[in-house]
Amino acid sequence: MARVKQEDLSNFLYCASVLEERAYMVYKKLAEIVTLPLVNSMLLHIAYDSQKHSAIIRGVSESIAKTRNKSKACRKEHFLDDAWSTIDSLVREYAKNDERTQEEKLLSLLKTLDFLESSLGEEYYMLVQMKTLQYMTKQIRENYDVDLEDLKSTFEGIIQDEEKHAELLSKIKKILAPKENKAKDNTPEVRYTNPDAWTRPIPDSVYENAR
């Protein structure tokens, strides 16, 4: 079994919680400016799921070790690089001052939002698949009556939420897209069930002698 650095694992989870909180704020802001009630409700659904994920993951992080990380350090330590870059891209794109309506702007952001959800789901999937979860359970069990299945089901629930978010984003696209572009989307649905489908592990800094 890989020797996991307790502080690094806690920091990784802390950074994931900060990222989920930023995702919550992005979706909340988008919901506030969209006038279509159904789209608004779907964005709020994703926003509050992200806020929930942030709270859960932060709790797991603090149960393993007290992190000294600050949110700025997450980028420096290269935790969740793809997801951080995607969040930054979303903020920059939304901030552009152009003549598009809010719905048109949201439509242009949907692909990036979908990539964000996919990136987060991938990271949590890798966490569940690796022996890291066993180590996390061992650390938390010192203070709480938590077993491996409890912790595994918690992260699997978050993964299912990420899949649901992708479905909601697809529905929003159909609502916002012009009629001529509303042909059925035949893109295959991604499920986090095949370990070989993902190639980006959690950063090496989280592990010692992982191979």
Question: What CATH number is associated with residue 9?
Answer: 1.20.1260
What is residue 182's predicted lDDT score, i.e. its pLDDT?
47
Rounded to 5, what percent of the chain is helix, strand, coil?
Answer: 75, 0, 25
Does some domain include residue 200?
no
Number of domains in the chain: 1
Does some domain include residue 166?
yes
- Range name among 24-38, 80-94, 174-188, 197-211 with the lowest pLDDT average: 197-211
Does some domain include residue 31?
yes
Does some domain include residue 100?
yes
92-118 pLDDT, tens digit per residue, is 877 777 777 778 888 889 989 999 999
Does some domain include residue 202?
no
Mean pLDDT computed over every residue of the chain: 79
What is residue 105's predicted lDDT score, i.e. its pLDDT?
83
Q: Which domain holds residue 173?
A: 3-177
Quick check: pTM over 0.85? no
Residue 183 has pLDDT above 50, yes or no: no
The answer to whether 205 and 8 have CB atoms below 8 angstroms apart is: yes
Rounded mean pLDDT, 152-156: 90
